Structure formats: structure tokens, C-alpha cells
A = this chain, B = another copy of it.
Amino acid sequence: MTFHDLVVNAERLLADLRDLSVFGRNAGGGIDRASFSAADATAREWLAGRCAEAGLEVMTDAVGNIFVSSPRLEEGIAHHPAVWTGSHIDAVPDGGAFDGALGVIAAIEVLRTLHEAGTGLTRPVRAVSFSDEEGSFAHLFGSSAIARGFGVDQLEAMIGRDGARLAEALPSALTVSLADAAAVGPPPEGVAAYVELHIEQGSLLEASGVPIGVVTGIVAIGGGTVRFRGRADHAGTTPLDRRQDAGLAASEFAVALPALASATSADAVVTTGIMRFDPAGSNIVPGGAEVSVDFRDVELERAIDLGNRIAASASEIASRRGVGVEIEFEETVPGARMNDAVRGAIAGAAAGLGLDAIDIRSGAGHDAQNMALIAPTGMIFVPSVGGRSHSPAEYTRDDDVVRGASVLLRTVLALVRG
């Protein structure tokens, strides 16, 4: 047989995707599986077990990235630059069963299919599951460690969404030191190519009736936290005109953001996902208020411009309302263009399977944007029903899952041939 005739095992693929989705499932049907949580640990254990059953080898690096390989396929070529494919198995709070999980399970299915077919590949193929893509500690954490690296001081400073320090969570989950984690980087031999299968998380494919999206690029993303500081006062005895209400400043700020994004470009979006008042008593005028800001645009320049307008708006509102403000935005992440050769491989794979494909832009950040810094990189999108994502309602039909994995297999084969 030739590798070109290979097909993925659809039943096994769909069963694995379902099985993974039980780890961290909450009462409302959503998935709570932050990296280095208890649910993440059991998911990692299950994944390692599935790989072992298939005769694959599993290695976890010091930031929690999982690499899966086939000893049989790598005989004699283990130190050649490999083709990597994967995604992540962590989820946002109350997230869905497809974001990330699809790309990891499909990557393992592709590797398993190749492993079963036997030897003959000219480059190693590795399935990857990057840790903490959803940024419980840092957005795209695992792939950032590989492509850009972290200093021990940066790792020391990371605080999780639940308030825990990475310096405690990481060593206890992986038995590593922060020095080990800081040493993580790209493999010395380089990476031949990276390709990631992911759900669209939007509704363009569904609206177009097209099963495959060939990603052209990933948007630039900026944001961080804005903290307003007013004065806590008694809710009953402090006249409205004598208050320094940090909560009202934060609320007015949140309401002002969408218009700032729309004024920047038709592609820009902005989101306030977290708002917290302090001291948070119903009969106390809030003395403090914390607001998260997430803004994105296709063009880095425009995203940076939007960030500046947002900061200016926070300052204007704070000064008009007589409260203080502290703006803590991380550096805006540039996004990435996808590699032409990899895009060509994906488009060719789809065409070879008789599947329509269109070019599409990613509004979400992905590990692929880090991998694009060190390797020719591409992404395959499959439709999300109703465009829903980061929610328990996230869903991609079985047929689309199998089509995506099939295009991934053919793309990987094309990239192995180089």
C-alpha cells in the first residue's frame, strides 16, 4: 500500500473526542479544564494511555507540552526536522468540547494511522498538545515557551485565573523546577512544518456551506486589565454628587468600548469578559473596580491604535468622574501570516478529497501564531455550528470532524514529502 491511500479511522477519532470531553465536565454541560488543574491531569493521563495502547511514545516537556511520536516511523530519522501537528487540550472556564481538543485528537489519529501503516516516511511526524493555550496563566503559554522562551522571573510573576502562582502549580503538576521551564525552547534540529486543525469558532464556513477553511492569517491581540480606584462609602448616607464611585467609572468604560472598536475598523472587536468591584458589598459604594479588556484587529497597527484609544478613554472617564485609573496592557501580540507552501498543501489535500475550501482569517489566537515564528505553519478550519465557541454550546458535526482529520492526514503526508 502507499501512504496516499490511507484514511483515518472515523469511529476511533469520534470516540476519542467524546471520551476526552468528560474530563472537567460541569453540571451545566460545559468543560472546566484549565491547564495544571485536576481535570487537566486526568485528561493528560487518559491521553497518555490512549497513545501507549497504540504503541506511540509520549514525552512531556517542563512547561507541560505533550509530544507524541512513533518509534517505528522514526527509526533512523529521529533527529531530522519533524512535521508537527496538534493543538491543546485545556479549555476556557465553562468551555466546549472541540476548541483545541479536535486538533489534538485528530493529530494523534493521523499519527496512529501512519504508525499502523508502517515505515517509509522520510521525516518524523509528531503530535503535539500545547499547554495552557487558553491562558489560565498566560495566553498561548506552551507554544510561547517553545517559540519565544520565558525567563525565570517572568514565570515567577505568573498568577493563574484562580489566583494560584505558576511557581506552585507547575512544579506540583509536573515535578519540574522553574529553571527547567525557562530552558524550554525549539528543538535544535528545527521543525520542518506545523499544521493545526481547529474549529472555526465563527460562522463563515457554515454560512458559505464550505467544509474546509484554509487559514490565511491570525489577528493581532492586545489587552489586559484596567483598574479604577475611587472611594468606598456608605450607600445610604453618601449623596450621589459626593461619591467617587469606581464601579460606575468601570461600567461607563465597558459601555464605551464597542464604539471605539467600530470606529477603528470593521474587523476590530473588543470584549470585557471580567468585571469585579471591591469591596463588593451591596450597601457599599465601590472603592475599586477591575475590568478585563481584550481587543483584536487583523492589522497589528490598527490593533495598537485601538489599544491607545481604549487607554485614553479609560483616562478620560476616570478624570471626569474624579477617580484614579491604572492601565495594565500586555504587549499587543502581532498575529501571524500563514505559510504559502503549507496553505498550498492544505488546499491540495482538500481538492484531492473532493472537498470545497475557502481562504479564511482567524479572529482567535492560536499556538500556530507562535509556531509561525520558528517553522512554516498553516491551519485548517472546520465549521462550528452557529459559530458558537468558548461555551458549552460549541459543536462541530461528526462529518466535519472526519473531513478535517482527513484533510489533516493528507496535508501532513504532503509536508513529510516536503
Contacts and interface: CB of A to CB of B under 8 A. Distances in A.
Interface residues of A, number: 73
A275 B286 CA distance: 10
B282 A390 contact: no
B282 A274 contact: yes
A287 interface: yes
A93 B254 CA distance: 25
A282 B294 contact: yes
Contacts of A269: 235-236, 238-240
B235 A273 contact: yes
A251 B292 CA distance: 13
A387 interface: yes
A135 B275 contact: no
A234 B273 contact: no
A200 interface: yes
Interface string A76-109: 0000000000000000111000010000000000
B286 A273 contact: yes
A261 interface: yes
Contacts of A393: 231-232
A364 interface: yes
Given A254-B247, A254-B248, A272-B251, A283 B236 contact: no
A323 interface: no
Given A200-B237, A238-B387, A273-B284, 8 more contacts: A201-B237, A235-B271, A237-B387, A273-B277, A274-B277, A275-B276, A276-B276, A284-B391
